[in-house]
Amino acid sequence: MIEPPLVSPPTLADAYRLLAESVYRPIAGGTDVLVQLSGQLGPPPDRLLDLWRLDELRGIELDGDALVLGALTTYSGIRRSAVCRDLLPALVEAAATVGAAQIQNRATLGGNIANASPAGDMLPVLLATDATIVVGSIRGERSIPARSFWTGYRQTALRPDEIVIRIRIPLVADRQVRFRKIGTRRAQAISKVVVGLSWVAPTSGSPWRTVRLGLGSVAERPIRVTATEAFLEGRLPTPDTAAEAAQRVAAEIQPIDDVRSTADYRRAVTARVLHRLIREAGSW
Amino acid sequence: MTVRFVVNDDPVELTVPGARRLLDVLREELGLTGTKEGCGEGECGACTVLLDGEVVDACLVPISQVDGHTVQTVEGLAARRPSVDRPAAPDDLNQLQWAFLETGGAQCGICTPGMLMAGQAFLASGAPATDAAIREAIAGNLCRCTGYTKIIEAIALAATRRDQAESLGPTSDHAGRP
Ligand SMILES: Cc1cc2nc3c(=O)[nH]c(=O)nc-3n(C[C@H](O)[C@H](O)[C@H](O)COP(=O)(O)OP(=O)(O)OC[C@H]3O[C@@H](n4cnc5c(N)ncnc54)[C@H](O)[C@@H]3O)c2cc1C
Ligand code: FES
Ligand code: FES
């Protein structure tokens, strides 16, 4: 086990100062980083910056018409949060599918975002809800839309001295958000396909507006499928809509074969899940 | 770095690299080898301990994050350790450990410390012991021997006794530790 030097700053200002001076790998819940210390997944980090003491990065609150979650919010924290359960149950559903209790008690939303795995389960929900990732450094804060945060395979828009500090999810009237994860078993499974879908409709009989479809594990990064979104815009959740949308999403994505699944399976399952979500919305 | 924390009610102070895993500190520095290493990457739950009462995988927690906190390991469950001369009696063990013995919830034993800690956290949560709830509570703990049935039975049995003890009042609990 490799034990790189670790610093554990007591305040966010101290953390920013350290990050401005040298390159550190941040560590939040450690559920991805500690696995990397085995050295079996490529070179381990040279230096670690432990974020765990930074209470500035904790807390879930309502700020005007947005839900704001600190980067150190754990999945257990999301599951326990009455605000999340009431206002964004899809986020709670997603959190409940990550790992098992041991993981959920430590692993953080900020870690899932910065780790930038194409299979990160929370990321399609953040895409579907137009979330903003707020990042900070000694130079100040800036907001990055989720849509442009993941730039390539395990690549993000974070600069080396920046950390994720909070996540801002706008709450939109009459918006519905849905989450589905397909894995090999209910717990401890890396997803084969993850789906986050949202739309705005005042009643179940209203045409869909502002449709967002975020997908995980079907590309080198979490993506939105904008052509399928455009097709769904203004439509009613009818059998015809579902059938056509399923075909379109299967054509729009370019998944790959890997150890967890095949491209064909991922394409077929993504189409089926979308079909089913539309069917459920239309109650037919 | 110097870290101070409490293990099974005993305060400890150590100077160790901040990135050292809680698992290694327990086993190597503190000699608490009840906590097992199965996979070393969060998959198997053999290293499950309670950190401030919540289950964590000790193989994924750097010791820097334990400073100022409270850890409970499997060694902290029994009131008294059995030995060759004096095999375990019901009152030496806590209710969950005893239930594992009664139902045959342990075979090779490598998963058992982790299963006990996950079960202990579940019992402490006070959640109704439905089959689904018990399965979710141990979803992060793998067992290659038992097929889980007897482990689930053990947790359910301990939960039934917990509920009976609660309905009878605090003094009737013969082994409600800890
Ligand atoms: C057994 C097991 C099961 C898992 N199951 C799932 C699953 O079902 N779904 C899923 O999506 N993931 C899963 N994971 C992966 C992992 O738990 C999640 O990605 C988790 O959200 C990571 O959060 P963390 O706080 O532990 O991150 P860490 O390990 O602390 O960090 C992860 C990465 O993000 C960086 N980082 C962390 N916080 C910040 C920050 N605030 N600013 C900048 N960079 C930061 C770190 O430098 C590192 O590169 C699993 C992991 C394990 C070990
Ligand atoms: S050894 Fe920690 S989870 Fe397997
Ligand atoms: S008893 Fe052998 S792994 Fe569970």
CB atoms near residue A44 (< 10 Å): 18
Q: What is the pLDDT of residue B79?
A: 83
A216: left (phi over 0), alpha (psi -120 to 50) or beta: beta
Residue A101 and residue B140: Cβ atoms within 8 Å? yes
Q: Looking at chain A, which residue has its C-alpha nearest residue B65?
A: A52
The yes-or-no verdict on residue B166 having pLDDT over 50 is yes
Looking at B36, B51, B76, which one is the last position of a domain?
A: B76
Phi, psi of A140 (to 5 degrees): 120, -165
Burial of A72-95, coded b for 16+ CB within 10 Å and e otherwise, reads bbbbbbbbebeebeebbebbbbbb
A6-44+56-170: CATH, from 3.30.465.10, 3.40.50.1370, 3.40.190.290, 3.60.15.10: 3.30.465.10
CA B101 to chain centre: 15
Mean pLDDT of chain B: 92
Residue B174 has pLDDT above 70, yes or no: no
Q: Is the pLDDT of residue B178 over 60?
A: no
pLDDT tens across A84-114, in order? 999 999 999 999 999 999 999 999 999 999 9
State mean pLDDT over B146-164.
96
- At A135 the pLDDT is 98
Q: What is the CATH number of the domain that holds B132?
A: 1.10.150.120
Q: Are residues B69 and B94 in the same domain?
A: no
Closest partner CB to B137 (pick from A6, A35, A101): A101
Which DSSP state fits A75?
Answer: H
Indicate the residue type of A158.
L
Q: Are residues B44 and B67 in the same domain?
A: yes
Q: Does pLDDT of B136 surpass 70? A: yes
Do B36 and B10 have their domain in common?
yes
Across A229-257, average pLDDT: 97
B92, pLDDT greater than 60: yes
Alpha carbon separation from A142 to A3, A12, A28, A43 (Å, rounded): 32, 15, 20, 30
**Run of H or E including B131:** helix B131-137
The C-alpha torsion from A135 through A141 and A143 to A148, rounded to 10°, is: -50
Q: Which of B23, B30, B24 is nearest to B7 (CA)?
A: B30
Predicted local confidence at residue B106, as pLDDT: 96
Task: Return the pLDDT at A251.
Answer: 97
Edge-first strand order for the sheet with A66-70 is A60-63, A66-70, A163-170, A132-137, A140-145
Q: What is the mean pLDDT of the segment spanning B58-72?
A: 98
For ligand 3, residues with CB inside 6 Å are B 106-112, 143-146
Q: What are the DSSP calls for B139-178, one per residue? A: TT---SSS-SHHHHHHHHHHHHHHHHHHHH-GGG-SS---
Does B85 score more than 50 pLDDT? Answer: yes
| Better-predicted residue by pLDDT, A44 or B81 | A44
Distance from the Cα of A173 to chain B's closest Cα (Å) equals: 34
Question: Would you place residue A83 in the very low, low, confident or very high pLDDT band (cuts 50, 70, 90)?
Answer: very high
Q: What pLDDT sits at residue A259?
A: 82
* Same domain flag for B32 and B94: no
pLDDT per residue as tens digits for the range A138-152? 999 999 999 999 999
Cα of A252 to nearest chain B Cα, Å:
34
The burial class, CB within 10 Å (0-12 / 13-18 / 19+), for A261 is buried
Give dist(CA A127, CA A86) in Å, integer: 20
- Name the architecture of domain A175-282: 2-Layer Sandwich (3.30)
Residue B110 lies in a domain: yes
pLDDT at B87: 74
Residue A21's pLDDT is 97
For residues B70 and B97, membership in a common domain is answered with: no
User: Which pLDDT value is given to residue B16?
Assistant: 98
Residue A25 reports pLDDT greater than 90:
yes
Q: A196 alpha carbon to ligand 2 midpoint, in Å? A: 30
Q: Phi and psi of A84, rounded to 5°?
A: -65, -45
Asked whether residue B97 falls in the same domain as residue B71, the answer is no
CA distance B176 to A239: 57
Interface check for A100 against chain B (CB to CB < 8 A): the answer is yes
Atom index in ligand 3 nearest the CA of residue B144 equals 3
Same domain, B138 and B107: yes
The residue whose CA has the least distance to atom 4 of ligand 3 is B143
Q: Same domain, yes or no, for B72 and B107?
A: no
Residue A64: strand, helix, or coil: coil
A102 touches B at CB < 8 Å: yes
Reported as half-sphere exposure (CB side, CA atoms, 13 A), residue B78 has a value of 19
* Assigned domain for B107 exists: yes
State whether B107 and B160 are in the same domain: yes
Please give the pLDDT value at position A40.
80
Say which residue the tokens 């008690």 belong to: A105
- The pLDDT value recorded for residue A151 is 97
Helix %, strand %, coil % for chain A, to 5?
A: 35, 25, 40
* Whole-number pLDDT of residue B170: 58
How far apart (Å, rounded) are the C-alpha atoms in residues A150 and A157? 7
Indicate whether A194 pLDDT > 60.
yes
**Alpha carbon of B38 to ligand 2 centroid (Å):** 5
* Banded pLDDT at A181 (limits 50, 70, 90): very high
Same domain, B108 and B71: no
Q: CB of B55 within 8 A of CB of A102?
A: yes
Residue B114: pLDDT above 80?
yes
pLDDT tops 70 at residue B176: no
- Name beta bridge partners: A262: none
pLDDT at B177 over 60: no
Task: Give the C-alpha separation, A92 to A90, whole Å.
Answer: 5
Using the predicted structure, report yes or no on whether residue A189 has a pLDDT greater than 90. Answer: no
Packing angle, helices B95-103 and B112-125, rounded to 10? 130
Confidence of residue A191 (pLDDT cuts 50, 70, 90): confident
In whole angstroms, give the CA distance from residue A114 to residue A126.
13
Residue whose C-alpha is closest to residue A103's, from A79, A122, A72, A75? A75
Same domain for B72 and B94, yes or no, is no
Phi and psi at A10, nearest 5°, equal -80, -20
* Ligand 2 centroid distance, CA of A70 (Å): 27
Quote the pLDDT of residue B168: 76
Which residues contact residue A58 at a Cβ distance below 8 angstroms, ignoring those fewer than 6 apart? A70, A72, A73
Cβ distance A6 to B121 less than 8 Å, yes or no, reads no
User: What is the structure's pLDDT at B96?
Assistant: 97
Domain that holds residue B21: 2-76
pTM, 2 dp: 0.95
Distance A2 CA to ligand 2 centre (A): 16
Position A186 pLDDT exceeds 80: no
**CATH code at position B37:** 3.10.20.30
Please report whether residue B130 resides in a domain. yes
Residue of higher predicted confidence among B171 and A29: A29
Domain ranges of chain A: 6-44+56-170, 175-282
| Axis-axis angle for helices A239-252, A263-282 (nearest 10) | 160
Average pLDDT, chain A: 96
Using the Cβ of A52 and the Cβ atoms of chain B, whether some distance falls under 8 Å is answered with: yes
Provide the pLDDT for residue B169: 67
Beta bridge partners of A209: A200
Q: How many whole angstroms separate alpha carbon B6 and alpha carbon A172?
A: 46
